[in-house]
Amino acid sequence: MAKLVVHNEKIDNKSEAIKLCPFGAMDIVNDNIEINASCKMCRLCVRKGPEGAFEYVEGEKKPSVDKSLWKGVGVYVDHVEGDIHPVTFELIGKARELAAKVNQEVYCVFVGHDIEDKAEELLHYGVDKVYVYDSEKLKEFRIEPYTAAFEDFINKVKPTAILVGATTVGRSLAPRIAARFRTGLTADCTVLDIKENTDLVQIRPAFGGNIMAQIITPNSRPQLATVRYKVMLAPERSEDVNGQIIRCTIEDERLASNIDVLEVFKKEAETGISDAEVLVVAGRGVKTEKDLAMVEELAKLLGGEVAVTRPLIESGWADAKRQVGLSGRTVRPKLIITLGVSGAVQFTAGMNKSDVIFSINKDEKAPIFQVAHYGIVGDMYEIIPQLIENIKLSKEA
């Protein structure tokens, strides 16, 4: 790691010298200048300070990884008792796209119990190889044995990149794997690409969604990224099967866990906004909580669900499960209607893959119009009642 070295013997006036730093990163301790944690490594002190007083020392370079030893794109198969989560198929679609660019294969790692017959379904989506870890000790998800199986897969196969669904399980596993291999992990990616040298380009909103950060881990393998459900497109299921299933074994002692699962309670299935084909989203333009009744009426007429943006959640007007955006749910309905939504990056990143986006906003310069397919500039309180009336009339006709 790079650092600044202070040669105090070359500084005559230390009180004046510390004024060189615009960040207040210098302190005088026992008549010596010391660099504190506020240092930004701007090196202004090196350029403007007394000659030879401040020295910038380069850190040790991390040894580069032999990228030729790491090949293929892996996908972790997220499932509950063998029922594969749809985010897995979306990641397979993206993995196929990435692998094709570097002429490599797509792998899946499937960890659980009595899952071998379910693994065959993955082959219908263009996976080259499915590595199955099937053991009684892997029946319920426990972090230690699942991590051990995942780690074993990576050591045997050496995939250059691994995609993991940003589910409860995926968000537990991915950081542990990244720590074990001392590699990078980018969470909640919205765009993925790959370079010719197999460096994975991972793009996600950063700094509160104000910028889109492009992240690469050129000196580490494997490269890990998590992706939310409904962000990527799932490929069409094919009747043809060309891949193969590889049964893997791992020593029982490596599957030991300090957790005992006594009982599993199944959660009642509920209809969420992630699976809705039509969404009507209320934004900051909604003035009062009672005005949501108008939004609900429109959604009901269209056979859809009501969703909201973060300000309405913070106001306590709706359940957090109905929030669209990076801090809420990622959605991809056939139709999404936004009402009084400005279109901040955090929101649009969670819905911009929708088939049809229809937006109503008073501000013609609102960012939402940059992603909308259709838009109306106007007062939602005048437009929505007319829209509701027109829908009712068309239904009657």
Beta-carbon contacts of residue 394 (< 8 Å; ≥ 6 apart): none
Please spell the DSSP secondary structure of 268-313, one letter per residue: PP---GGG-SEEEEE-TT--SGGGHHHHHHHHHHTT-EEEE-HHHH
Backbone angles phi, psi at 298, to 5 degrees: -65, -45
Give the closest residue to 78 by CA, choosing from 144, 13, 122, 123: 122
Give the closest residue to 222 by CA, choosing from 363, 73, 116, 334: 73
What is the rounded distance in angstroms from the CA atom of residue 189 to the CA atom of residue 3? 32
Q: Is 327 annotated as a binding residue?
A: yes
Give the closest residue to 243 by CA, choosing from 65, 37, 21, 75: 75
Residue 26, Ramachandran bin (φ over 0: left; ψ between -120 and 50: alpha; else beta): beta
Q: Is 258 annotated as a binding residue?
A: no
Q: Is 176 annotated as a binding residue?
A: no
Q: Is 221 annotated as a binding residue?
A: no
| Number of residues in the chain | 397
Q: Could you count the other beta carbons within 10 Å of the beta carbon of residue 391? A: 14
Query: Which run of H or E residues covers position 107?
Result: strand 106-112
Residue whose entry in the numeric block shows the structure tokens 């104000």: 210
Does residue 205 contact residue 349 with C-beta atoms inside 8 Å? yes
Q: Is 302 annotated as a binding residue?
A: no
Does residue 330 contact residue 274 with C-beta atoms inside 8 Å? yes
Q: Is 325 annotated as a binding residue?
A: yes
Q: Is 284 annotated as a binding residue?
A: yes
Q: Is 370 annotated as a binding residue?
A: no
What is the rounded distance in angstroms from the CA atom of residue 31 to the CA atom of residue 242? 73
The percent of the chain in helix, strand and coil, each rounded to the nearest 5, is 30, 25, 45
Does residue 76 contact residue 62 with C-beta atoms inside 8 Å? no
Beta-carbon contacts of residue 298 (< 8 Å; ≥ 6 apart): 280, 337, 384, 387, 388, 391
Angle, in degrees to the nearest 10, between helices 380-396 and 292-301: 30
Beta bridge partners, 201, equal 193
Q: Is 332 annotated as a binding residue?
A: no
Which residues are annotated as part of the binding site for FAD?
284, 309-310, 323-327, 361
Which residues are annotated as part of the binding site?
284, 309-310, 323-327, 361
